[in-house]
């Protein structure tokens, strides 16, 4: 069964908009686990505009499920944080410091030497590594040569086209997943997945192990409640 990791960045964004500690990010992480989340994802950025580095350290103390830290390893501060906290998984994302949100995967061909080096650093520390990739067959094949344990398929294109032609929207992802399976790469997925498009994606992708969802899940929780929403997403994910 594929796992649901809840990205709590948006909770931190709400907290930071007013200062103080409401909503309490640590308590939300605890509650997400209690309500059935299989993991907690955070993506600390250099300006700490949502999740702060101190949040990561505090969450690491109470995590009982899988902890997934996302970020760009070109930032020495990020690398040091991951090596300090040693989460179950680090997801490497090639976003710039001023990007609103992640919008592309690694060029695993051009950047292969760098990826091999930095992935080796994390794996030597006993941390599972996943790298963000677009659903392009040759990029997935090249990812296998970097030494990564998993890839995370960037799903914005699928989500954007799902309601007009879901078969066409999923096609490149199926091919990418087949290549990943051939190379014994684990498959994660994330970005703009929601309760409406998640089920079809999970049914069609062979070997899907984990999805990381934040924005849509937190938005749905405003209407349906956090516990109910997490269960809705888990049902969508695993039928």
CATH of the domain at 177: 3.20.20.70
pTM of the model: 0.95
Helix (H) or strand (E) segment spanning residue 169:
helix 166-182
Residue 70 bears catalytic tag = yes
Taking a C-beta distance cutoff of 8 angstroms, is the pair 78, 66 a contact?
no
* The two three-digit tokens of residue 97, written as one number: 């410091």
**Does 163 participate in catalysis according to the annotation?**
no
- How crowded is residue 136: how many other Cβ atoms within 10 Å of its Cβ? 17
Question: Which residue among 50, 66, 191, 210 is the active-site one?
Answer: 191
Considering the candidates 43, 66, 152, 210, report the single residue annotated as catalytic.
43
Under DSSP, the state recorded for 52 is -
Rounded to whole angstroms, how far apart are CA atoms 104 and 153?
10
Note down the domain range covering 114: 3-238
Q: Per-residue pLDDT tens, the chain, 239 aa: give them.
A: 899 999 999 999 999 999 999 999 999 999 999 999 999 999 999 999 999 999 999 999 999 999 999 999 998 999 999 999 999 999 999 975 555 455 678 999 999 999 999 999 999 999 999 999 999 999 999 999 999 999 999 999 999 999 999 999 999 999 999 999 999 999 999 999 999 999 999 999 999 999 999 999 999 999 999 999 999 999 999 98
**Domains of the chain: total:** 1
Rounded CA-CA distance 19/34 in Å is: 26
């Amino acid at each position: 069964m594929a796992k649901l990791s809840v990205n709590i960045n948006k909770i931190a964004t709400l907290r930071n908009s007013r200062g103080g500690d409401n909503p309490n990010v640590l308590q939300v992480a605890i509650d997400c686990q209690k309500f059935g989340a299989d993991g907690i994802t955070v993506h600390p950025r250099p300006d700490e505009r949502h999740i702060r580095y101190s949040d990561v350290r505090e969450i690491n103390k109470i995590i009982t499920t899988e902890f997934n830290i996302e970020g760009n390893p070109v930032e020495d501060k990020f690398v040091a944080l991951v090596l300090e906290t040693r989460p179950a998984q680090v997801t490497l994302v090639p976003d710039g410091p001023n990007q609103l949100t992640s919008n592309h995967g690694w060029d695993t061909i051009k950047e292969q030497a760098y990826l091999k080096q930095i992935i080796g650093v994390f794996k030597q520390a006993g941390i599972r590594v996943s790298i963000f990739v677009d659903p392009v067959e040759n990029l997935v094949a090249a990812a296998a040569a970097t030494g990564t344990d998993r890839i995370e398929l960037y799903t914005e294109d699928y989500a954007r086209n799902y309601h007009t032609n879901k078969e066409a929207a999923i096609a490149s992802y199926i091919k990418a997943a087949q290549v990943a399976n051939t190379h014994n790469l684990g498959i994660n997925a994330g970005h703009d997945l929601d309760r409406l498009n998640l089920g079809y994606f999970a049914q069609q992708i062979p070997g899907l192990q984990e999805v990381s969802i934040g924005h849509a899940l937190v938005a749905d929780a405003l209407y349906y409640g956090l516990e109910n929403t997490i269960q809705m997403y888990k049902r969508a994910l695993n039928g």
